[in-house]
């Protein structure tokens, strides 16, 4: 199921913050993403209504469907950024650009990039061991 890029960004933020802090609150998301708390609250309501998140008290958690999307987006973000860094892009620019690319790249193109990255990192690792 295709969702808006902004929703994917929120889900990825919840994933990252959850791994880092354990509990995730709307204020944590607002601070992490640089948005106002009311803006985040509106987005969380939409994500909750669509079945991507649950909240107990003030803690926000991904549902299975939300976690699947968040993990996919995070994998894309990280891999694309690492590829950009490999070809000489500075880290800040690479992660910023990867955040844009992750939403529009096709599954086929991403899978090819992933295979290339895997082969490249295995090759680099083998060279280090030789």
Which stretches within the chain are classed as H helix?
A: 5-21, 26-33, 37-49, 64-86, 91-104, 107-129
pTM: 0.86
| Count of the separate structural domains present in the chain | 2
- Give 55-82 pLDDT, tens digit per residue: 988 899 999 999 999 999 999 999 999 9
Tell whether 17 and 61 lie within a shared domain: yes
pLDDT digit string (tens) for 12-54?
A: 999 999 999 989 999 999 999 999 999 999 999 999 999 999 9
Closest residue by Cα to residue 116 from 74, 87, 89: 87
Per-residue pLDDT tens over the stretch 85-130? 999 999 999 999 999 999 999 999 999 999 999 988 877 655 545 5
- The domain in which residue 56 lies consists of 5-68
Q: Identify the bridge partners of residue 54 per DSSP, sorted by sequence position.
A: 61
- Domain boundary residue, one of 68, 94, 118: 68
Tell whether 64 and 93 lie within a shared domain: no
Rounded to 5 degrees, what are φ and ψ at 86? Answer: -60, -30
Instruction: Quote the CA–CA distance of 33 and 28 in Å, as a whole number.
Output: 9
- Check whether residue 82 and residue 64 sit in a common domain: no
């Amino acid at each position: 199921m295709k969702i808006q890029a902004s929703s994917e960004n929120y889900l990825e933020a919840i994933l990252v913050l959850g791994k880092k802090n354990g509990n995730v609150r709307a204020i944590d998301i607002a601070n992490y993403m640089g948005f106002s708390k009311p803006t985040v609250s509106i987005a969380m309501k939409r994500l909750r209504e669509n079945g991507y998140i649950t909240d107990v008290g003030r803690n926000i958690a991904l549902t299975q469907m939300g976690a699947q999307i968040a993990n996919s987006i995070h994998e894309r973000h990280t891999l694309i950024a690492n590829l950009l860094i490999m070809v000489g892009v500075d880290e800040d620019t690479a992660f910023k650009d990867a955040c844009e690319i992750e939403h529009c790249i096709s599954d086929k193109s991403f899978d090819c990039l992933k295979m290339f990255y895997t082969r490249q990192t295995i090759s680099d690792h083998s060279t280090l061991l030789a």
